[in-house]
A and B are shown apart, each in its own frame.
Chain A
Amino acid sequence: MDAIETTNVTRKFNGLVAVAGIDLKIRKGELFSLLGPNGAGKTTLVRMLCCLLRPTAGTAFIMGHDITKESFKVKGLIGVSPQDTVLSERLNCWENLSLVGKMHRISSEEVRECSKELLQTMGLMERAGEQVKNFSGGMKRRLSIAMSLVHDPAVLFLDEPTLGLDPQARRAVWEHIALLKKEKTILLTTHYMEEADSLSDRIGIIDEGKIVALGTPEELKRDFFTGCGMVIRAEDIPVGIMQELCGRYARVERINGGVEISHGELDFHEVVEYLFSRGVIVSSATLKQPTLEDVFIQITGKKLRE
């Protein structure tokens, strides 16, 4: 039995298709990431799997329980960390954790023990007695994840767990998620390719409500990206030349001290000669490993952050 199984799950809002008949199987203990831009349908799919939205068509099973017919059983098995850091702002960490624990009918003693462990793991113990409204975004996010774990759920939904966090806080959250791998089945939604790449066992790329590619990060890069990329180190490439490059190649991104270019067929000499001819001094030009974003662009024809 798979931990999560969806069959033609569909959701429409006033005729607009947000999720278009997704079939998905996620194994127990797997960390599966849904990677896609804003509005791709990630959160709508998660909301349906958490029994917050009824599918317009199709259904899904969580640990063998139908989300439409056995929603309260499903709710007892899942933990959810929503996209927005949703906490009770005037409660402290203990009270927030206790509230979720009590909703799952866990005894006060068990909640206390579990909360203690989670607060220590998440590095929140020192400020556990403070009202959370004064916490930083990273601390709130860690508490939000702790709240989704307090009742020891079998399946964990992490909806954009690092959205809006600074790089340092993002890495801290990744470390905590990595600790949960194998212990729980995790469905993580993100539009950060690095997050999906480093954490996931498998990734589903979602666009316009459909899963357009599915596999391990390596499989996706190997099977779906047929083009090539290069990194050019050059000082001060003028805006005009950047614009010209954007017009010639599929993906052009300014990086610190140079430019990254990806394209289906890329003639390295041609690129370098073109830059020389425009007066740009190129210090180095190297091959670039494809990223999930390259894969996404190749499949959908658009950038992840669009």
Chain B
Amino acid sequence: MRFWEIGKRNLKEIYRNPVLLGFLLGMPVVFMLVFCSAFGQGTVEPVRLSVVDEDQSQASAAFVESLERIEVVELWGEVYSEEAWAKEDMEAGRISLYLLIPRGFQDAAAAGQSVDLGVVYEGADPMAGLRVKPVLEAAGSQFLGMPAPVNVEMKGVESKIENEIVNFFAPGIIVFGLMILISVTAEVIAADREKGFLARMLTTPAKPWEFILGYSLPFIPVLIASTLIYLGVGMAMGLTIVGNLGHAFLIFFLTGLSAVGIGMIVGSLIKSESQAAICWVFIVPLAMISGAWWTVEAMPQGLQNFAGGLPFIHAINASRSVINGVPLSAVMGDLYWLVAWAVVLFSLGIVFFSKRMVG
């Protein structure tokens, strides 16, 4: 099988190239080590906070009103009177974080007793819960005029997560790592075009479809191996896979396929191997606006909408959710985007690459 021979050759050219491997594996691994070990205090704001007011008192209403004045918190939706409704909305994906003001809030405040406020967050975004805790503690103290009267209990949907920070960062960095495949794919294709190797192979009786397979299939083991290595390093740093690993892998696979598709397009358009560096002009900003290293709520709405139209934000959201225990059915919206983008980008990659085989 000719495509197999071309694929084998391309795979050897990748894994025998230390610079390419350094980029593909080294950079995300270093990011994983740095982010997971160094960043424990994410402070991206504002956080969309819903409120469940079970006390339904003047004091609780005034407390909610005081929260509106806090810049770092954006009150989201109507104030619930029953926690069950908030839970229902959270399960439906309409809200991701809510503050629970328990019954007896007004009485406890009047008696100068401490009050247990609850913060419930979706497992997919523990950072939001972590960020909002000190804000609510400060707001409660200020409102009640007492030193530290508020005990905020963090109640993540999934309690099996050992290190919430790592579980937040790792999926984003894995998606960033897979985005590096854009540059790697572009470089491999552009190098063979620039140096004439592709032309030389085109003087053999191999058919165009054999070249297409030979130049796209090798990236599949590369993306699988990369994902396994990223996950391995993440787990060594404390990543807890609470959900279904297979589902997470599916999301990463679709992400990688999109990246390879973009790489094939870029590799077919640029004229030299060195021009593949242009990929970095959009890989890093794309990773940023997709929330690889922070939550996207802090970004202007327009930028959020723009990022929402691209595949990577969906990959990051879906993989965070699935890894933290959210069922795949709850992230189908993100998954549909990913499947659509993977099909479109990979198909376009094939079209652009095919055009380079015509004299």
List residues of B whose CB falls within 8 A of some A CB. 2, 5-6, 9, 12-13, 16-17, 195-197, 199-207, 359
* Residue in B195, B202, B203, B359 whose Cβ sees the most chain A Cβ within 10 Å: B203
Supposing A99-B9, A104-B205 touch, asked if A80 and B359 sit within 8 A by C-beta, the answer is no
Q: With a CB–CB cut-off of 8 A, which chain B residues contact A88?
A: 9, 12-13, 197
* Interface size, A (range): 20 to 34
Bound CA span A91–B16, Å:
9
A208 at interface (Cβ–Cβ under 8 A)? no
Contact call A75/B204, Cβ cutoff below 8 A = yes
Closest 8 pairs between A and B when the two form their complex, measured CB to CB: A103-B204, A53-B359, A90-B16, A102-B5, A86-B196, A80-B203, A75-B205, A76-B205
Q: In the complex, what residue of chain A is closest to B191 when comparing beta carbons?
A: A89
Contact call A54/B359, Cβ cutoff below 8 A = yes
Contact call A51/B207, Cβ cutoff below 8 A = no
Contact call A86/B9, Cβ cutoff below 8 A = no
CB-defined A-B contacts under 8 Å, sample of 20: A47-B359, A50-B203, A52-B199, A52-B202, A52-B359, A54-B359, A76-B205, A78-B203, A80-B203, A87-B197, A89-B13, A90-B16, A90-B17, A91-B9, A99-B5, A99-B9, A103-B6, A103-B205, A105-B2, A105-B205
Q: With a CB–CB cut-off of 8 A, which chain B residues contact A82?
A: 196, 199-200
Residues A74-125 near B (CB distance < 8 A):
75-76, 78, 80, 82-84, 86-91, 95, 98-100, 102-105
List residues of A whose CB falls within 8 A of some B CB. 47, 50-54, 72-73, 75-76, 78, 80, 82-84, 86-91, 95, 98-100, 102-105, 131, 147
Contact call B9/A95, Cβ cutoff below 8 A = yes
Contact call A91/B196, Cβ cutoff below 8 A = no
Q: In the complex, what residue of chain A is closest to B206 when comparing beta carbons?
A: A103
Q: With a CB–CB cut-off of 8 A, which chain B residues contact A99?
A: 5-6, 9
Q: With a CB–CB cut-off of 8 A, which chain A residues contact B17?
A: 90
Known: A82-B200, A84-B195, A90-B12. 8 other contacts (CB 8 A): A52-B199, A54-B359, A72-B207, A75-B205, A76-B205, A84-B196, A86-B197, A89-B13
Q: With a CB–CB cut-off of 8 A, which chain B residues contact A50?
A: 203
Q: How far is the CB of A78 from chain B (nearest CB, A)?
A: 7
Q: How far is the CB of A82 from chain B (nearest CB, A)?
A: 5
Q: With a CB–CB cut-off of 8 A, which chain A residues contact B359?
A: 47, 51-54
Contact call B204/A86, Cβ cutoff below 8 A = no
Contact call B196/A72, Cβ cutoff below 8 A = no
